[in-house]
Amino acid sequence: MFESLSRRIREAVDRLRGRGRISEADLRSTLREIRMALLEADVNFEVAKDFIASVQEKALGRQVLESLTPAEQILSLVYEELVALLGGSPVSPTLRAEGNLWFLVGLQGSGKTTQAAKLAAYYRSRGRRPLLVAADTQRPAAREQLRLLAERVGVPILELEDGERPQVTRRRLQEALRQDYRDLVLVDTAGRLQIDEALMEELAALKKELAPTETLLVIDAMMGQEALSVARAFDERVGVSGLILTKLDGDARGGAALSARAVTGKPIYFAGVSEKIEGLEPFYPDRLAQRILGMGDLQTLMERVKAAELEAPERAPTEFTLEDLINQMRQLRKLGGFQEVLGMLPGASRLLPPGVELDERAIARLEAIVLSMTPEERRNPKILNASRRKRIALGSGTSVQEVNRLIKNFDSAKEMFKALSRQRGRRWLGRLGR
Ligand code: GDP
Ligand code: MG
């Protein structure tokens, strides 16, 4: 997600690089390009307009035109504005010592059931005692889905009956909590394919009875602008206290995700980044903004590297070879959300031709190039003259340009990949990390 937006903003800003002072017309045309990029990424029209107006005002106020580094100045203004758009500082749901009851609401397919299980796992690993509640009173299959997830996570579940009335649910829940004390109740509510009055009434009635301390609207980031009118409808009828954006690992343009905070006025608490139970992360506006602007998300990466136990390379990092590079790429897959992880690495995209995304196929091509080299060539790319390069391109079914690019950018790429090796990686990332 966000690849195309990211590329277009960087292209717009890069055109100003090395230019010295720029004119007001240059500034306007750069901002116009960024506005187009936002709109094409499906950012809400009003949101994009306000965004650009604000950047422009600050640019003029801070005398970017007089600056000798206009590209850097504009990039940092865009960064600040993106962070603000996404909510500024990170916000977590309110969590008291006890008596927390959270509703998960949203359309069918948005990811409520999955996020309920993810939240249970997330908070249990932080010392909480969650209880899951399967509150779809119409679809036994929906309750069954949560039961299976609850079993996998190892968290108890209370399942509602078909057509169960909210008063009954409240009593059953009180009874369940009396028997087995829980400090965080996560209620997976029913969804519909579209907003309908019956759903809203059902939710409102259940909410009145259970009095949740948070009402979390789950929004599918793949859904586009329509997600935002859905969000407004839920807020008006049921009341929403915060958002969870799911499927940020998807390949949608991402504009709805970027607009969600501004359009609803609600904080984004969490981001769903994979189908797996571990695929839930607190939402950090600054990190996402950095990722979109290609600054790399070292903080998140560092945390994942710590969590994922990468194997240390066998040789000393000074001998890091093309073979190691490919091995590290393979290991990166273990971190989950392969493309997303690569997107967090500043410079990883330089291994590929412009416009080609870092997906498994592109990596397979890089791998094919390396596999077509002799062991000696892999250890010592310096010996790769024109005829060797041609042979490798032929052997790997790629082009000489692709081979050249891989070799040319191997040095900068290997720095990053080395950083992912376990022992030294933390120190390296630690130095860079903020
Ligand atoms: P519900 O109808 O709102 O309860 O949605 P589900 O929890 O059943 O999720 C719908 C689909 O989205 C399922 O296939 C999930 O595996 C998938 N899903 C949920 N969250 C994520 C996410 O963060 N990333 C991806 N890629 N898929 C997700
Ligand atoms: Mg569900």
Distance 321 CA to ligand 2 centre (A): 47
Please name the amino acid found at residue 70. P
Task: Tell me the pairing of strands 280-282 and 268-272.
Answer: antiparallel
Mean pLDDT throughout 329-347? Answer: 61
Distance 198 CA to ligand 1 centre (A): 23
Mean pLDDT throughout 97-106? Answer: 95
Confidence at residue 350, expressed as pLDDT on a 0 to 100 scale:
64
Measured from the Cα of 145, ligand 1's closest atom is 8
Mean pLDDT throughout 393-417? Answer: 82
Q: Considering only CA atoms, which residue is closest to atom 22 of ligand 1?
A: 247
Residue 311 has pLDDT above 80, yes or no: no
Please give the mean pLDDT across all residues of the chain: 84
Residue 297 has pLDDT above 60, yes or no: no
Distance 272 CA to ligand 1 centre (A): 9
Confidence at residue 412, expressed as pLDDT on a 0 to 100 scale:
67
Ligand 1 neighbour 339 (Cβ under 6 A): no
Mean pLDDT throughout 23-31? Answer: 91
pLDDT band at 380; cut points 50, 70, 90: confident
Residue 380 near residue 286 (C-beta atoms within 8 A): no
In angstroms, the CA 422 to CA 346 distance is 18
Confidence at residue 316, expressed as pLDDT on a 0 to 100 scale:
47
Ligand 1 neighbour 273 (Cβ under 6 A): yes
Protein residues within 5 Å, CB atom, of ion ligand 2: 112-113, 142
Task: State whether residue 157 is helix, strand or coil.
Answer: strand
Of 213 and 360, more confident: 213
DSSP for residue 222: T
Distance 94 CA to ligand 2 centre (A): 23
Confidence at residue 175, expressed as pLDDT on a 0 to 100 scale:
96
Confidence at residue 246, expressed as pLDDT on a 0 to 100 scale:
94
Residue 242 near residue 203 (C-beta atoms within 8 A): no
pLDDT band at 208; cut points 50, 70, 90: very high
The pair of three-digit structure tokens given for residue 19, joined into one six-digit string: 């230019």
Contacts of 380 (CB under 8 A, 6+ apart): none
Measured from the Cα of 271, ligand 1's closest atom is 23
Residue 33 has pLDDT above 90, yes or no: yes
Backbone angles phi, psi at 242, to 5 degrees: -170, 170
For the beta sheet containing 242-246, the strands, ordered from the edge strand earlier in sequence to the opposite edge, are 157-159, 130-135, 184-189, 100-105, 214-220, 242-246, 268-272, 280-282
Confidence at residue 426, expressed as pLDDT on a 0 to 100 scale:
45
Percent of the chain whose predicted confidence (pLDDT) is above 70: 82
Mean pLDDT throughout 60-77? Answer: 81
In angstroms, the CA 203 to CA 196 distance is 11
Best of 104, 107, 110, 114 for a ligand 1 pocket test (most atoms within 8 Å of beta carbon):
114
Residue 254 backbone class (left: φ over 0; alpha: ψ -120 to 50; beta: rest): left
Mean pLDDT throughout 364-392? Answer: 88
Q: Considering only CA atoms, which residue is closest to atom 28 of ligand 1?
A: 275
Residue 308 has pLDDT above 80, yes or no: no
Of 231 and 334, more confident: 231
Mean pLDDT throughout 273-280? Answer: 93
Backbone angles phi, psi at 293, to 5 degrees: -90, 10
> What confidence tens digit (pLDDT) does each residue in 107-154 have?
989 999 999 999 999 999 999 999 999 999 888 999 999 999 999 999
What burial letters (b/e) apply to 26-57, b meaning 16+ CB within 10 Å? bbeebbebbbebbeebbbbeebbeebbeebbe
Ligand 1 neighbour 285 (Cβ under 6 A): no
CA-to-CA separations, 253 to 201, 371, 382, in angstroms, rounded: 33, 34, 40
Residue 296 has pLDDT above 70, yes or no: no
Ligand 1 neighbour 26 (Cβ under 6 A): no
What burial letters (b/e) apply to 281-300, b meaning 16+ CB within 10 Å? bebbbbbbbbbbbbebbbbb
H/E stretch holding 20: none
Task: State whether residue 254 is helix, strand or coil.
Answer: coil
CA-to-CA separations, 74 to 88, 226, 331, in angstroms, rounded: 18, 31, 36
Question: Using CA atoms in the order 371, 375, 379, 385, what is the torsion angle rounded to 10 degrees?
Answer: -80
Residue 195 near residue 107 (C-beta atoms within 8 A): yes
